[in-house]
Each structure stands twice: as structure tokens, then as C-alpha cells.
Structure 1
Amino acid sequence: MKFSVDALLFDSDETLVSSLASVSRCWLRWASEHGLTTAEILAVQPHGRPAAAIVADLLPAERVPSALAALQQAEVDDATDGGAVPVPGARELLAALPPDRWAVVTSGTRRVADARLAAAGIEARHLVTVDDITHHKPHPEPFLTAAQRLDVDPARCVAFEDAPAGLQAARAAGMLTVALTTTHDAHALTSAADVVIPDLSPVAAQLTGGGVDVTIAPSVGRPRSPDDRPAS
């Protein structure tokens, strides 16, 4: 599977950075401190959503700022203590790309994203976080913002994501979508994904005069080129 694009956009957690164990530790500890159960947290569909939105769904408004600050500090501390490592294939793929051909697009805050990316040994020149936008995923604004910063046509981008909300956001932005099964089963991702892969190890990129050629080893799904996707 091979297609040509101008830029590659990546979610952070469980797409470039494996931080699921860290997230679980921090949220479980936080939930216990605030008298919440795991079931209550899962009921608000937390994955792929900003922490601020999740906390606002779980606690009274007057408790949200302090509770959110405590959670963010815990996540930064855990990442710094080794709670984040690169997803297989991430560093190798990024090493083949110039800094202005890729960006990170995350629903996390800049502070947490910076900590996790640094812990994983990933340095992103272009990083779009929840602090930079008005509408979060599944709204297309985060991915459209990244394309604008890279000065590329959104239709000439491919987005790598592990969550349905992120895939929906990228699809709404008119981008090719590649789903990683690092947090969800393939059947939960295929409706909004052009390709489904286990991690980034099947992906290779080569810079060309007209952009970036992306090659993906055999996987579930079939990539569509930007030229043959339906008009929106």
C-alpha cells in the first residue's frame, strides 16, 4: 500500500507515545482521591477527549480547576519518571521525515504532551494541543490547524490515530486516515479509517520532489488516495 502526501499528522498518546500504563495509574489515583470509581470515569467515554472535558463531566464546576491541576501535575511527574515510551516504529518513521513534513495533534495539554514526547525521545517542531484550539476532536479544527501551520492542503495529509474521535476529526478535515489498534479493536476503528495497522512499524516514508511517499505493509483496510476520496 503506497500513497503520496505532503504531510503526516500524528496523535500523541498510543500513536507516537505509549503512555497507557501512566494514564491508568494517574487516573485511578486521581479517581480514588475524588471519590470516583473506574466505572464512572469510563461512563463519560474518556479516551481521545481532553482531560478538562472529562473532569467537567465528573465533578461540580467549583472543583474542576484544582482537580484538573492536580491530575495534570501527576501526569507530568509520571511521564518524567519513565511513564512514556515510543510506540513501535515511531522514532524510525519520524527520523525519515523533515521537521516541517509532520506534526503532532493531541487532545492533551501542551504541558503533558511535552513531557510525554520528551520522555519518549521525540522532538516535534509542530505541536497542536487542546490549548491551541476552540473545538476539540471529533471536530476537524485540530487537524486543520496543523495543516495550516505546515502550510499544506488538508487533502494532502495523512493522519495517524488510535481513537474513533480522532479518526472522525481527521476524516472531517478531508484527510486520509490510518488507525492504530493500540487502544481499540479494529472493528471499532474501520468506519473512519482508510487503513488499520497494529502500530507504526509497518509504515515507511520517503521524501520525494512532490511530497512524501508513504508505504504501509499489508494490513486491514485499503488506503484511498486524496484524488479518489468522495467530495464533502
Structure 2
Amino acid sequence: MKITADALLFDNDGTLISSLESVRRCWTRWAKEYGITEQAFAEIQLHGRPAAEIVADLLPAGRVPEAVARIEHLEVEDVAGGVVALPGTLALLESLPAERWAVVTSATRRLAEARLDEAGIRTKTLIAADDISRGKPDPEPFLLAAERLGVDPARCVVFEDAPAGLTAGRAAGMVTVALTTTHRAEELSADVVVPDLSAVSAQATGGAVEITVAG
């Protein structure tokens, strides 16, 4: 399958990189510190959501700012050796002009930069939780990325591994490509579903990017 686009927008965790073990370690430690029961913690969706939203679901409003700062500190301190680029990530990004792609993440800028740096990824455009007022599944993060890159949202392709991110991409009017790195294919609603980015290649042609999806 071939797709012509002006920009490629990538989620970070679960799409470009894997930090699942680090996330589990840090959030489990955080939950114990804040007296969150296993049952309450198990009912909360962690993946693909800003930490501030997760914490707000678990703690009274007055405790949220300090608790958010704590989980960010734990996760930033845990990146060494706990974050790796997923298959196909580095090869695909290296084939793209810097002005034709962005990372759009639910993590804070500080945490996202720490994880990207650990995985050996440099990006010119990063949209993080600090930049938005409404996180995924709202389309705001992806629309802001398109604006920063100066492209029409309809000419963007979103690469995501989480249902919330794919919902955001569709709401933004963008083509969606789902990766089955953290969810089963039947849990993901997208224009295209692939195992990981090793199934995707791209070539810049003039002002556009020709994307080839294997399968």
C-alpha cells in the first residue's frame, strides 16, 4: 500500500520506542507511595494518557501537582537502560527530512526528551503534554503538530499504537496507521494496521513523502 503525505506524526511510547517496563516499575512504585490500592490502580488506563489525567483520576485535586511531579521524576530517572527504539524506528526516521515529521506524545516535554535521547532519536518538532490543554483522544495534539509543521491536517499520517491516539488522529482528519506493539489488531481502528515500523518505508519526493506500507 502507498500513501502520499506532507507530514508523518508519530506517537512516542509504543510507536517509536518501548518504555513499558520502565512505566510499570515507576507507576507501581508511585502507587505504593501514594497509597493507591491495587484494585483502584488496575482500573486506570495508563498507556497513551498524560500523567496529569491519570493522577487526577486517583487522587484529590489538591495532591495532583505534587504527585505529577513525583511520577515525572521517577520516570526520568528510570530511562537509562529502560528505553529502546522499536524495530524499524531509526531507519524510517533517518529516511525523512527533519521538517516532514514530528513526535506527538502524552508525556511531558522533559520526560519525552529524556526517553528520545536514550533511544538515540533527535526530532526538530515535538508536541508534548506541556503544549496542549486537551490530550488524546482529543485531536488538539495532532492539529498543533500539523500547524507547527505548516501542513494541512488532511495531508498528515498518524502512527499510533493506542486507541486513544488513533481516535485523536481520526478526529483531526488524518490518515491513521496502527501498530500492534501494545494492543491486538482487533482493538485498533485505523486505515492501516502493521506490526511495527519495520513494515513502513518512506521517500521524500519534492514537497511530499511517499510512504510504502508492506502487507
The two structures have a TM-score, normalised by structure 2, of 0.97
Letter in 2 for 1:195: V
Q: Which residue of 1 aligns with 2:145?
A: 146
Q: Secondary structure at the match of 2:81?
A: helix
Q: How does 1:79-158 map to 2 (within 5 A)?
A: 79=79, 81-158=80-157
Letter in 2 for 1:154: P
Q: Secondary structure at the match of 1:165?
A: helix
Deviations 1:68-87 (A, max 9, x none): 111100100101x2211101
Q: How does 1:24-43 map to 2 (within 5 A)?
A: 24-43=24-43
Letter in 1 for 2:63: R
Deviations 1:111-140 (A, max 9, x none): 100000000000111000111011111111
Tell me, in whole angstroms, the C-alpha distance in 2 between the residues paired with 1:113 and 1:95.
19
Tell me, in whole angstroms, the C-alpha distance in 1 between the residues paired with 2:158 and 2:39.
31
Letter in 1 for 2:82: G
RMSD: 1.0
**Residue among 193, 196, 211 paired with 1:199:** 196
The two structures have a TM-score, normalised by structure 1, of 0.90
Letter in 2 for 1:106: T
Identity %: 64
Deviations 1:83-104 (A, max 9, x none): 1110110000000001100000
CA deviation after TM superposition for structure 1 residue 37, in Å: 3.3
CA deviation after TM superposition for structure 1 residue 45, in Å: 2.0
Deviates more, 1:89-98 or 1:30-39: 30-39
Tell me, in whole angstroms, the C-alpha distance in 2 between the residues paired with 1:176 and 1:167.
9
Kindly indicate whether the alpha-carbon contact (under 8 Å) linking 1:128 and 1:145 is maintained by their aligned counterparts in 2: yes
Q: Which residue of 2 aligns with 1:226?
A: none
Q: Which residue of 1 aligns with 2:44?
A: 44
Kindly indicate whether the alpha-carbon contact (under 8 Å) linking 1:28 and 1:38 is maintained by their aligned counterparts in 2: no
Letter in 2 for 1:26: C
Letter in 2 for 1:207: A
CA deviation after TM superposition for structure 1 residue 39, in Å: 3.3
Tell me, in whole angstroms, the C-alpha distance in 1 between the residues paired with 2:63 and 2:173.
38
Tell me, in whole angstroms, the C-alpha distance in 2 between the residues paired with 1:210 and 1:96.
14
Q: Which residue of 1 aligns with 2:3?
A: 3
Deviates more, 1:45-54 or 1:110-119: 45-54
Q: Secondary structure at the match of 1:93?
A: helix
Tell me, in whole angstroms, the C-alpha distance in 2 between the residues paired with 1:214 and 1:207.
9
Q: Secondary structure at the match of 2:211?
A: strand
CA deviation after TM superposition for structure 1 residue 210, in Å: 4.2
Deviates more, 1:139-148 or 1:58-67: 58-67
Tell me, in whole angstroms, the C-alpha distance in 2 between the residues paired with 1:39 and 1:86.
32
CA deviation after TM superposition for structure 1 residue 64, in Å: 1.5
Q: Could you list the runs of 5+ residues in structure 1 that have no partner in the other structure?
A: 219-232
Deviations 1:153-192 (A, max 9, x none): 1101100001111000010101000011111111110x3x
Letter in 1 for 2:76: V
Q: Which runs of 4+ in 1 moved over 4 A?
A: none
CA deviation after TM superposition for structure 1 residue 35, in Å: 1.6
Deviations 1:190-229 (A, max 9, x none): x3x01111111010000102400000110xxxxxxxxxxx
Count residues in correspondence. Answer: 215
